[in-house]
Each structure stands twice: as C-alpha cells, then as structure tokens.
Structure 1
Amino acid sequence: MHQGLGPKTGSCGTLALMPKAPQINLIRAICPIVLVAILLGLSWVELLPELDTVTLDAQQRLQIRFSQSSNSKASELLPRLNPVIVGMDDQFVDQVETPIALSHVWIAKLLEALASAKPAVIGVDFAFPVKRFDSIYLADNPQVNFHQRLIQGLANASRSVPIVAIKVWDSEKSDFSPIHPDFQNVLDSQPGEFEAVTSAMFCQDVDGMIRTLPDSVCQPDDTEHGLANEMAVAMGLPGVKAGWIDFSIGEKFDYIPMMDVIQASERGDKAWLSSRFEGRPVLFGAVMQNMDSHFSPHPLAAWLGDTTYVPGVLFHAQIFRSIVSERGIKALPDWIPIVLTLVTATLWWLPSQRLFELSVLVMMLSATVVQVLLIHRSLWLPLSLMWLCGASLVVLRLVFDNIVNLSEKRRLKKVFGGYVSPSVLDGILKGSIDGSGQGKEVEVAILFSDIRGFTRFGEKHSAEQVVQLLNDYFGRMTRVVHESGGTVDKFIGDGLMAFFGAPNSLLRPATQAACCALKMQNELESFNQTLEARGQQPIQIGIGLHFGWAVIGHIGSPDRFEYTAIGDTVNATARIESLSKDLGTSVLCSKAFAERMNQEDSIPVDKHFAEFPNLGNLKMTNFGPQALKGRADMAVFGMEMKR
C-alpha cells in the first residue's frame, strides 16, 4: 500500500475528486432566489422598513453632530423661515388659575399681541372650542363673554396675519371634531389658498416615533393638509406632501412663555415684540412635557436636554423647517433598492468564496457611501433589503460551502482511507500537507518489519492464500501502528515501513514506536492462532527500530507521488531489521533509538502506549557494535518485555 496522492491538486479545498450530487447543485442554485423572495415578502409586510428607520436615525444623528460642530445647516435656515415657539407652560397654568379649556381670553390676548408684531404666519396648535360658552363672562367686562372675546381676538389678529388652526380626530366618530362654526367662519374668511383649519395628526411609525411628514397616507381622512404645510402655503411657499422630517436642520427649539408675550403687549413694549416675531413664522402650543407629547428619534427641546419625549408643537416646527428649506427627505423609487438587491444576489454565483465575499463587501460599502451622499441632498435610499440579502448570502455561502467541504472530506476519507494513513489524510484535508513537493527534515522514529521465511511460504501456497495472509496480517499490523500514533509509509512485499513524528509531531516518538513494536508482537500471537485454526503454519516477524533525521514529504513526479520518508535513517533501519534474524531477536533497535527512549522517560505516558506504562520492564540486550551492510558498525540492542 503506497502513500500515493495522485495528481497534484493544490490545497484540500480543491480536492473535489468526486462530483457533487445534483441535489446539492440545485439547492445552491436556488438559494439566492429563495432568499430574495423571503426578503421581498418581509419588506411587503413592513418588517424591513424598521431597519431602514434605524439607519435613517443614525445618519441624521451624525448630521446633527456635524451641524453642531460646523453650524452648517443651522446657518442655512434664514431667520424668516425659522419658526418661533410660543408656549403655554406650567407657569402660565399656575399663574392664571384657570382651566386650560377656559383660556379663551388669554388666547385672544396672545393672538392680538402676536399680530401687532406682524409675524409672517401664526400656527395655533391648540384646538378651538367645539361649543359656545355664552354663560361665562369676563369679570372686568360683563358685556363680553368668553366665546365673544375669543372670536374678537381671532378676528382682530387674522385681519393682519394669516392664522392656521388645527382640528383633532375623534376616533369614536371616525371623523375630525369640527370647531365651532363661529371660529371656522372667521378663519375661513382669510384671503389665500391655504387651509385655515387643518389636521394636527402626525405619522407615527411602528416603534412609536414620529419621523414622517404628515401626508395623506397617515391622515385618517386621506387629506394632505397638515399644520406646518398650510403655514408654508400661507407664506406663499410651496408645501411638501410626502417624505421624512429632516431633524438635522436648525438647533434645538426654545420657547417664549405665553404670558411674557401678553405682558409685553399690555405694557406697550412694541420693540420687544417686533424683535422676536416680526416677519417670522410663529407656532403657539402647549409645551408641558406630559401634554400632547410624542417620541422623537432626536431631542428637539433645548429646555429638556436629551429627552426625546417632547411636546407636539415642536414636531410641527421641525416639519415646517423641513418644508420651507425644501429639505423634507424624499425616498427614491422602490425599484432601486430591489434592483440593488437583485444585483447583490447575482454575486452568489461567483466561483470563488473570497471573490464573492469581497464583491458583496464592495457592493454594500459602495451603496452605503451613495446613501450617505444622498441624505445630504435630502434623498433617502433604503438599503436594509440589500444589506440583509448580502449578509445572509455570505452566511449561507459559508454554511453551504462548509457542508459541501465536510461532505467531500467524508468521501475522500471513504475513498482514500485505505490508501494513506489517517494522519496523512487529515493533513491533506486540513491543508497542512499541500502537495507542493517541498520535503521537510524531521527527527522521527522509523520502524521496519518483515515476515521471516515468507518466500518459502509463498512457494508452498497458492497466490490467493498468499494475498489473503498478507491482507490479514497487514490489516492487523496497520491498525496497531495507527493506534500507536504512527504513520504507515509503505508495504514492500511482506515488509512494512512506518514512522513516528510526522506529519503529526509527537512528544515521545521513540517510546511510541517501541510500544508499537511490542504490540505488534502481541498481535502476531493472536494472528498465529488464527493461522493454526486454518491449518496453516504460524509466522515470525523481525522488527528494526532507529531514530534520527529523515526528509518527510512528497516524492515522485508531478503526476504520481508518495508521502514518504527518505534518508540515511530509513536505510539504516532497514539494515537493522535484517540483522535481527541473525542475532536471534524479534525486535532490534539502534543505540540512538535506545538513548532517545531514555530521554523520553520523564515525559508522561499517553494513550498510545497505555498497555506498557512501565518501560522499565523492558529487557534490553546489548549486542554491541554490529556490521551493517554498506555502512559503519552500529551498536544495537535487542528488545523484549520481561516475562
């Protein structure tokens, strides 16, 4: 049995000596198709968009940090387009001691005070009453009730400034709650193409965050009119109907307390009012944190620090910023991410694993760079579909290729297990033995064994009997060599050559070789009993052992080679084995081998020679220097276990 490895095939990954099963090829072919279909299905049921929103948040977070460090986008937003927040806060509620629902007079005064400063537009994020309050009169003017005073203030303010108010959704009636007709009529009488009473609804994502411009998709009545959008239209600016809020525009909002505005008007401080509101869009609403608050992916309120649970009026303000700066983030057509995903999927069929992984990485990085560049132009390219496809394909390819490689390794072991020793085959499959043809000089223990008188046995028996005996004998002895940690190099007629210490290094190569020789003697006794049961004569063997340097590697031609050991140590071992018969001993070793065994005594015994834990029981017979054919005399020792 030779250690022939056949034609040179390179690394073990290319040792595809057996064709892959058709079903494996089929599975490999349809893997990307099935994966893309699954991902498209997940995208259809809106599971993947959540990943896109996380990415969008992260990119805007980076933009905000960049804007804060460079003041880039904040400076681009002109003051006349940056809304001023007037807030109804806790201080106001504590000061007036009036229920918020009965704040008619204060709201009227606020609207008149704001109008006197000539702002560009006033947005009221505060629902006007749905009914009259005729029975409630002013304490200082019994002729005017709350209802009349609010109508009066609204009318006075709307004559000089466009006012946009909100309406709220009544989920029980599945309709917007109409404000009282008196207020509706005043607001509708304003000139302009804007909707004076519009929806206050936000588009809330599945995670509870508000990121989207309030278009018709999320409006319960399918309209496209939101507070911020109609404020922009009232200023003569184009409205934006769809997209995402750009949170990177401007800095965090602060607010001017409602009572400060009213008091400035009452004391006639027109300069104070003009400096804050003239020509500016104004938004009035509640700024108490627990009243009409929503979750934002980014902090919006300067007075709340990094809190992302912020008053709704701030969302209207940020939406307004996005609209008037024409930076409402718009999504690219849906077919673009699908095409990118399909292109990524086609990389699956690249022949090389490394080329495939590199191509997927380049594809994903390139798309991400494009995504970053587009977000600065207020365009959004969703990439979660492509990212998941690429990452999943890489994992699937690794899993699939590992399964195929394991399958091929099993086939190789099954086919070549009888041609090479397990240690050699494992080295081939792991790539440590690569067929490069480069030999390596290693200190090894060499074992030669030979059946004595086998020529006469062959003359007396048929060829079939000779082959049967050799196969049975070599089968037993090969198992012993492998169990002892050795590598069978070759069979030469009725002889066997093995070495210990390559391709796997051993702590005690000489000791393991000695134990192997003794085990072979024990195995021979069992084998001879089998021969006697067949009516055949028992056999005897001689074993030679030597330790030294040998060249281990592939020997032969590029088309046919063996993994073998060559060198003077190998030749000397063969001579020692031949000498064993003349000296009347079954196992003969060199002095170098015996000295190596003596050095190894301090090394713990391992499983390969557990049957002979005490090598001190060895009987070593010193035969002194002996003449070896073709070389100088060598001291040799007979070896056997003490009986």
Structure 2
Amino acid sequence: MRRIGGRDIVAAIVIALVTGAIFTSPPLQVLQGLSLDILTALRGKLIGDRRDPATSPVVVVAIDSETYETAPFQGSPTQTWTREIGRVLDSISEGGAKVIGFDVIFKNSIEQSEIPFGDTSFGSRVRGFDRDYLIALRRLSDSGKLVLGEILSNDHPEVPYRAQQVAVRNTVRALNVHTDHDDVIRRMPLSFAIEGRPVPAMAAELAARATGAKPEIAPSDATELSGRAIPSAVPNTMTLNFRGRGRDIPTFSFVDLHACAEKGDRDFFRRAFGGKVVLVGTVLNFEDRKLTSMRLSGGYDGTPAARCALPAPASSPQKARSDVAGVFVHATAVRNLIEHDATTELGFPMRTILTIVVAAIIACAASIFAPTGALAAWLVLTAVYTAMAVGAFVHAKALPLAEPALASLAALASMIGYRFVLADRDERFLRKSFALYLAPEVIDTMVASGKMPALGGEMRNVTMFFSDLSGFSSIAETMTPGELVTLMNEYLSAMTDIIEGHGGYVDKYIGDSIVAMFGAPADDPAHATNAVRAALRCHEKLAELNANHPAFAGHGLSHRIGLNSGEAVVGNIGSRRRFNYTVMSDTVNVASRLEGANKYYGTAIMASETTMAQTGDTFAWRELDAIRVLGRGEAIKVFEPLAETGAESAEQTKVATTYAEGLASWRAREFAKAADAFGQMAKTDSASALFAKRALAFTANPPPPDWTPVNTLEGK
C-alpha cells in the first residue's frame, strides 16, 4: 500500500470524471440497454422470480403452428378463417374477458379478391363472406371489449381492411414497438401523435380498458394510469420488466379454442378468460420474432394453458430462446401496466453520477494498491455492486451495471498507466538507485516524503551488532580468489538474512566484518532482544554452514560478535556529495571493542550490561567479567548469552553456575577458592581456563590492597 498525495487525488478525480462521462455518453447508450439485459439474465439465474401463470391478468390466444396444421385451417388462407375467428371471439367475450386486443392484422378480405372466377371475380362470388365476422367485431367494439391493431409507418403502414375499421368504429391502436440502436426491444411506447393528438398505444389502451382508467399526462409530462405515474427513462415510453421471462403468460392454442367453441364448453371459456385481458397473435418459429431484454437469459413463448377439446400435440419441452413472439412483448407491457411493475431506470444525471462515483473509488484504489491489489478491489467492488443491482432489480429498480463496471475498469487501467508513466517514476528511480545501499525502511521514508535523501541525523536508542571472522586472514591465504569470493558471499548473505529477518539493518561490510544496528531506521522497542536473538541464530547458522556447505568444508570458520545498547546518532552522514545512512557514538565503539574482547575469553558472543538489562528475562546469561576496553576509562560488565530462557542445556547451566561461584570468589579476593571453581570447567570452557590461570597466579602472588576486579584490555 502506497501513500497518495494531492496530485494522485486530482488525477483520480479527473480520470473518474472522464471515464464516467465517456461510458454514459450518447454514443455508448447501448450500454444502458446492455445493463438491462444483464440484470434480467442475472435475476433469472440467481433469483428465479417465477410467478404462477394462473395469476396473470393477461393471456395470449396463439395462432400457432398447431392451428396451421389442423383442420379446418390446414391448407386454407387466413382470409378464409374470419367466420371461425368471430365465433371464438364471441366465446371469449361471453366467458368474461375484459378486453381483447389484436396483435395480428388482417389487411385483406377474401371478398376483395380479384382472381377471375367465371365471368366475374372470386370476391364477387363470395360477397358477404365476412358478414358474421364483422358483426362480431361490431358487437365486441360496442361493448368496449375489442381493440384492433395497426402498424404506423410513413412508408409501409399496415392497417386492417376498411370494413374492419368501420365495424370497430376506428378503435384501432398502434402495435409499434420502441427499438434501441442495437435492434433490441426494451421499452414500449405509451402513445402516438395522430392528427395532432396523443392516442394510446395498444398496450396502454388495453390496460386502461382493463382497469377502467384513462391514461393522463401529469404536469411533470409523465404518463399516469390509475393515478400512478408510469416510470419512463426515455420520454413517452415504459421500460419493460420481463420478470417471468414469458413463462408468466398463459397461452391458448387458437385451434383448440375453436374446437372448444364448436363443442359449446362455455364453462371452459369462463375459467380461462374471466376477468382477463386477451391478446390474439401469431406464435410461430419464423414470423414476428423479437429480440428483447431476455436475449441473454432466454425467453419463452408463454406457458401452455389448459386444453379444452383437442389433445396436446406431442412436442419437446419448451426451451429458452433469444427471441420471443411479438405478442408476448405486448402481453408483458399490459401486465406491467396493470400491476404497476414496469422497470424504473435512473435518469441520465443520476446514472452518470453513480458511474463516476464507482470509477472514482477504483481510481483511488489503483493509486493506493499495487496493480494486482487494485484489480482485486475492482473485482470485489463489481461483485458487491452487481449483487446490489440485482437486489434492486428484483424490486423493478434498474441501476446502471455495464457503465460503472466498464468505466471503473477503464479508470483502473488509466490510473495504473498514470502511476507507471508519472506518479511512480520517481519512486522507481529511488528504489532502483538506492536498493543496494540503503535500508528498505529508509527508501520507504524517502518515497513517502517524495524527497531525495539529505544530510542529517537524530538520537536513537539502538543496539549495535559487530561481527568478525576469527583468523580469517590466514584461511584466506590458502584459497583462490574465486573460492574466497564464493565463501564470503555465502557467509555474508546468510548472516545478513538473519540480521534483517530479526529487524536489523546492515550498515556496512568491512572485509569479513559486519556492522549492523537494531532499532533504526525502523523503530523497534525490542531492539536489544532481537539483536541477541539474531546473534544466537548467526552462531548456529555458521555451524550449519561449516557442516553442510561445500564452500566451508575443511575451513572450520568461527566468528566473534559484540553487542552494545545505548544512545547513538543515526541518519545520513557524510559529505554533501556522498553520504550513507549510518550510526555514530560511543555505543558503536564499545560494541566494536566487545567483539574483539571475545578472543580473550574464548567466547563467540559478548554483550554489554545495558544490552543484557534491556532483554529482561528473555535469555539465560553468564556474566563473564568487568572489563575496561581500549579508549574508554569506565569499566563495564560483560555477559555471554547462552540461549533462550528455558532452552539452555544442562551443560550450559552447570558451566554458568560454577563460573558464577568462581567469579564471586575472584571478586572477594579468595583466589584459591576461585581457582578451584574455575578449574572444574577449565578443560571445556576457555573463559574458565583464563580465570583459573589468573587466580592461580594471584594465589601465589596476591595483588596490592587497592586492586579492583576489572580486566583492562590492551588491544582491540
């Protein structure tokens, strides 16, 4: 996670504004429709939302393939079906249908046929053929139960033939649909201007007659039905809500109803059509098919309703299709209007604002996180937002989906590009330039501040770590340059990994020596504990390398480590042209001297009393001596860390206990007793051997009365 500055915030805002405006602009308006398609598919997949067709206020009478293939309609032109259609319409009306709408247009009558038939035309020979049909139309129209359909067009209008128009007293309504730029029907017109006045479209007319209300224009220019405004994103249209994906519309085969009317089963018509809006239309596999918002999820040509007279034809189960018969588009519109279930879309301003907000969130995430993290944030946000949008769509509220998803993805890519080209250029330069010379924490500080490193320092409480290989010069003389480089690289890499793994910072390498500090540049309240733990682990690691690594075989390397804690100046120290992040103080010098003091006592790790005190009871210690190092007049007590508390071996405990007894006798001037105590461990412990020798010498030749038990070291 990176720290963002004011420039990044401005860039994120600008990117969000641009991407949001682009993806909601008119040229990309197809995305608004795509959102509806995706929401319809997701709702159907995740929620289901199927409704009982029996509760539908709308039913469809389908002039389907079964009708075309069954007598008396098989092989005869549709113009000859009018008497049968009139009979079925009467039965539907007597069954209690509220209103019947025609989604099929009979543009011609058989009575208009000009085909020669003897000395006259065929139409003249069958004059009066449509009389019963026209009477049925007049009767239904006069009762307010019939609306015929037409297609409005300047070039190729389709209208019922003139006799039908007269029969229904021009109760004809437009079947035109609203098609988006991608040829998909997602909305239905509510009215059309005819001769300067608004005339309801077919769906609006049928819904108005079914509810006994009249469509009105509110002061807000919204169309109202039964006192409720019809939601409209595009003026004078209604956004369709295909909640049941067509399966919520019962569908009756016309040929079965014809047989039912012949049979005189009035009860069936009352059960099927009582209180319903009926739409008559063609339902065929090749004619009048429409792409709708169900194109991604698949829609259905209704649900087959109960049969009356004819057995159901053997057929395979219904399958979802990308297109549906046009009559179901009108049926869905009527149901949406009656049930006040039309989809409510956000207007252009709110859609744009929401898209910009989502893009801004992702742009900010891209400015904070690495590209993979930002992509994960986009995936999570998109999933959460999609879930919210689907939840809203269940309640017929359509939030934009494609626009925010694509705009935020574009914002993500743009912000990553901006960071790569501009924002992170300085950071990459700093990290690349100083990665091998400065601690990661120092580089992070420089990146966060946006400033190049400069001279300066501060007082910090730190623990210094000095290590050096014992007798390495003589070992190096026996090795080739290649072998020496390999050995040193392996050794320094292993030790550095341990030091940095415990929070330390390697200041410098001096030949085979390592200078490191704990507690800077990163704050570490437990710097002394971590330094001691790192020293113990380094000692263990060297033993492992000696035993297992080919480059160390036969050399038996050993090292000495000195630890000291205290105040020190840390920071960028050097000249104005060249400097390094390092440390300076007496604390550093003492640690260096303690590293060298190990060779007097034969120990591997030596720590000052201040370091020991700052570790608390974390480790088991052995007090070695009180010494005065070169260049420092004040004596200091020095200690050897044995192991983590509780992890020390029995031998270490025995040596430490016996050594403590000898040291106490030594400081009490009981040199003979001290010599006996140290002598017990002299063969296995170099420090005990050193003190045993010194105690025996003082036994034979006691020191003066002003003697103090402090060992002054003459060299480094």
TM-score greater than 0.5 by the shorter chain: yes
Shift of 1:363: 8.0
Give the counterpart of 1:61 among 34, 44, 65. 44
Find the counterpart in structure 2 of residue 294 from structure 1: 290
Q: How does 1:523-602 map to 2 (within 5 A)?
A: 545-546=557-558, 571=596
CA distance, structure 2, for counterparts of residue 121 and residue 553 of structure 1: 99
User: 2:197 and 2:430 mapped to 1: Cα distance?
Assistant: 64
Counterpart of 2:111 (choices 111, 120, 133) is 133
Pairwise CA distance, 1:129 = 1.4
Distance of 1:632 and 1:106 partners within structure 2: 125
Deviation of the 1:260 alpha carbon? 2.9
**Which residue of the other structure, out of 158, 164, 169, is the alignment partner of 2:141?**
158
Task: Please give the residue correspondences for 1:217-256 in structure 2 after superposition, counting only pairs within 5 Å.
Answer: 225-235=200-210, 236-237=212-213, 238=215, 239=225, 240=230, 241-248=236-243, 251-256=247-252
Does structure 1 residue 327 correspond to structure 2 residue 341? yes
Secondary structure in 1 aligned to 2:340? coil
1:493/1:502 Cα in 2 relative to 1: closer, same or farther (>3 Å)? closer
Q: Aligned pair in 2 of structure 1 residues 413, 273: CA closer, same or farther (>3 Å)? A: closer
Aligned counterparts of 1:29 and 1:406: Cα–Cα separation in 2: 17
What residue is the counterpart of 2:258 in the other structure? 262
Q: Judging changes above 3 Å, is the alpha-carbon distance between structure 1 residues 206 and 512 closer, same or farther for their aligned structure 2 residues?
A: farther
Cα deviation, 1:136-193, whole Å, max 9, x if unaligned, reads: 8999x966444545433322332334211222356xx63423332222222235xxxx
Q: In structure 1, what is the Cα distance between the partners aligned to 2:250 and 2:542?
A: 76
1:557/1:177 CA distance change after superposition, 3 Å: farther
- Asked if 1 retains the 8 angstrom alpha-carbon contact of 2:23 and 2:403, the reply is no
For the pair 1:90 / 2:109, whether they are aligned, the reply is no
**2:338 aligned partner, one-letter code:** V
Which residue type is aligned with residue 14 of structure 2? Answer: I
Q: 1:381 to 1:409 in 2, by over 3 A?
A: closer
Q: Paired residue for 1:414?
A: 433
CA contact (8 A) 1:87 1:284 kept: yes
Aligned length: 491
Match of residue 530 from structure 2: none
- Measured after TM superposition, the shift of residue 391 of structure 1 is 5.0
Q: Deviations over 1:375-407 (max 9, x none)?
A: 354332324433444455556656766885685
Which deviates more from structure 2 when the two are superposed, residues 330-339 or residues 481-490?
A: 481-490
Whether 1:38 and 2:19 are equivalent positions in the alignment is: yes
- CA pair 354-115 structure 1, distance change in 2 beyond 3 A: same
Matched, 1:168 2:151: yes
Deviations 1:295-345 (A, max 9, x none): 451435224624233322222211111011111112133222323344445
Distance 1:427 1:264, change over 3 A: closer
For residue 248 of structure 2, give the secondary structure of its aligned residue in structure 1. coil
**How far 1:627 sits from its partner (Å)?**
13
Residue pair 2:93, 2:145 contacting (<8 A) in 1 also? no
Offset of residue 350 of structure 1: 8.6
- Offset of residue 38 of structure 1: 3.0
The corresponding residue for 1:184 is: 165
Opposite residue 398 of structure 2, the aligned amino acid is: W
Separation of aligned partners in 1, 2:129 and 2:562: 108
Pair 1:276-2:272 in alignment: yes
1:375 aligns with 2:356: no
**Is the CA contact 2:23–2:407 (under 8 Å) kept in the aligned structure 1?**
no
Amino acid across the alignment from 1:52: S
CA distance in 2, matches of 1:228, 1:289: 23
Call closer, same or farther: CA 1:439–1:427 in 2, change over 3 Å. Answer: farther
1:39-96 Cα deviation digits (max 9, x unpaired): 322322224324412442145426862455xx6xx78x5x6xx122212122321222
Classify 1:91/1:418 alpha carbon distance in 2 versus 1 (closer, same or farther; 3 Å). closer
Counterpart AA for 1:417 = L
Residue of structure 1 aligned with 2:31, choices 38, 45, 48: 48
SS in 2 for 1:243: strand
Letter in 1 for 2:324: V
Take 1:160 and 1:107, find their aligned partners in 2: how far apart are those partners? 18
Contact 2:111 2:130 in 1 (8 A): yes
Q: Which runs of 5+ in 1 are unaligned?
A: 1-12, 190-195, 431-435, 453-476, 519-542, 578-624, 634-643
Counterpart residue identity of residue 157, structure 2: F
**Match of 1:311, as an amino acid?**
A
1 CA distance for matches of 2:544 and 2:445?
Answer: 24
CA distance in 2, matches of 1:159, 1:506: 107
In 1, the alpha carbon distance for the partners of 2:150 and 2:110 equals 17
**Residue 213 of structure 1 aligns to a residue in which SS?**
strand
CA distance in 1 between partners of 2:360 and 2:269 (Å): 64
Three-state SS of the structure 2 residue aligned to 1:408 is: helix
In the aligned structure 1, how far is the partner of 2:543 from the partner of 2:271? 89
Aligned to 1:188, the other structure's residue is in SS state: coil
CA distance in 2, matches of 1:331, 1:43: 14
Task: Give aligned-pair identity as a percent.
Answer: 16
The answer on whether the counterparts of 2:562 and 2:596 sit within 8 Å (CA) in structure 1 is no
**1:228 counterpart SS class:** helix
Q: CA deviation at 1:545?
A: 3.6
CA RMSD of aligned residues (A): 5.8
- Residue 305 of structure 1 corresponds to 318
Distance in structure 1 (CA, Å) of the matches to 2:509 and 2:162? 112
**SS at 2:342's partner residue?**
coil
The corresponding residue for 1:202 is: 177
Q: Please list every run of 5 or more consecutive structure 2 residues that lacks an aligned counterpart in the other structure.
A: 216-224, 231-235, 305-316, 448-459, 475-483, 497-505, 517-534, 572-580, 603-681, 691-716
Which residue of structure 1 lines up, in the alignment, with residue 667 of structure 2?
none
Distance 1:484 1:344 in 2: 52
Residues 410-467 of structure 1, C-alpha deviations (whole Å, 9 max, x = no match): 41442463467xx99999999xxxxx999999xx996368999xxxxxxxxxxxxxxx
- Cα drift, residue 29 of structure 1: 2.6
- Quote the residue 1:103 is aligned against: 81
**Distance in 2 separating the partners of 1:166 and 1:387:** 41
**Aligned mate of 1:386, from 399, 404, 416:** 404
Q: Does 1:340 align with 2:354?
A: yes
Give the conservation status (yes or no) of the 8 Å contact 1:547–1:569.
Answer: no
Matched AA of 2:88 = L
Contact 2:150–2:158 (CA under 8 A) maintained in structure 1: yes
| Structure 1 CA distance for aligned equivalents of residues 62 and 553 of structure 2 | 97
What is the CA deviation profile of residues 595-616 of structure 1, one whole-angstrom value per residue up to 9, with x for unaligned ones?
xxxxxxxxxxxxxxxxxxxxxx
1:120: Cα distance to partner? 0.8
Query: Shift of residue 497 of structure 1?
Result: 3.9
- 1:157 alignment partner AA: L
Q: Which amino acid aligns with 2:558?
A: H
Measured in 2, the distance between the counterparts of 1:59 and 1:354 equals: 30
1:92-130 residue CA offsets vs partner (Å, 9 max, x unmatched): 212223123543333233333333334210111111214
Query: Could you tell me whether the CA contact under 8 Å between 2:83 and 2:133 is conserved in 1?
Result: yes
Amino acid paired to 2:145 = P
Q: Do the aligned partners of 2:63 and 2:254 also contact (CA within 8 Å) in 1?
A: yes
Give me the whole-angstrom Cα distance separating, in 1, the residues matched to 2:13 and 2:549: 53
Aligned counterparts of 2:173 and 2:143: Cα–Cα separation in 1: 20
One-letter code of the match for 1:283? L
Contact persistence 1:134–1:147 (CA under 8 A): no
Q: Check 1:313–1:574 CA distance in 2 against 1; reply closer, same or farther (3 A cut).
A: farther
Contact 2:95–2:266 (CA<8 Å) still a contact in 1? yes
